[in-house]
Amino acid sequence: MKKSQKILAAAAAGAVVLTAGVTAVANASMAPASAAPAAVPAAVPAADVQPVPENVVAQNRISVGASAKAVGAALAKCQADKLPFVTVALVDRFGTVQAILRGDNAAEHTIESAKQKAYTAAVFGAPTSELAKRITGSGPSIADLPGTLYLPGGVPLKVNGASVAGIGVGGAPDGKLDEACAVAGAEAIAGTTK
């Protein structure tokens, strides 16, 4: 290698080192002043709560199998009544969806309608058609509660007289039709037939 080529190669290598050094300095100046590593918090031990009535509340829930059976029966009733465009929802008393079944051609709004009717029936322990009658006057009422809907189509599901869930149907052209389907779903798991 000639002397001039060696000088050029050494100069190029120096430029790369210089460029890398300038980049590192520039990046360091952009870092926040407190770039020290964050301390890892100590693990908090979990409390082992004793399962006694003073500490823990027992809760009844509708099983996944019964939930599926109820929404299936409700949708089957609607389909038999030539109402394939409804949605059926079963929620626990806290509004958590246990099962939902959207019928053929059911519009998007029917999903929320069914869930809200089911929740309203579950939380108040009464059919939404009955609850709708309690809304009177022009001031604040139960109708102002978030996530509730006071149209017929929601039916509570009870265990030993206590509301544990609700089934709701949304999408029929009349709330009475929604309610008939919801009742069919409730009866499918209650063991009653009419």
Nearest-CA neighbor of 155 among 190, 129, 188?
129
What domain range is 78 assigned to?
Answer: 64-190
119 Cβ contact partners less than 8 Å away, ≥ 6 residues apart: 91, 95, 147, 148, 154, 166, 168
Query: Does some domain include residue 162?
Result: yes
Residue 36 has pLDDT above 90, yes or no: no
The CATH number assigned to the domain holding 72 equals 3.30.450.150
**Per-residue model confidence (pLDDT) at position 51:** 85
Structural domains of the chain, count: 1
Query: Does some domain include residue 32?
Result: no
Query: Does some domain include residue 183?
Result: yes
Average pLDDT of the chain to the nearest whole number: 84
CA–CA separation, 82 and 172 (whole Å)? 10
Query: Does some domain include residue 9?
Result: no
**Per-residue model confidence (pLDDT) at position 158:** 96
Query: Does some domain include residue 185?
Result: yes
Query: Does some domain include residue 98?
Result: yes
Query: Does some domain include residue 164?
Result: yes
pTM of the model as a whole: 0.72
Average confidence (pLDDT) over 151-160: 96
189 Cβ contact partners less than 8 Å away, ≥ 6 residues apart: 62, 66, 69, 70, 73, 157
Query: Does some domain include residue 147?
Result: yes
Is the model more confident about 54 or about 73? 73
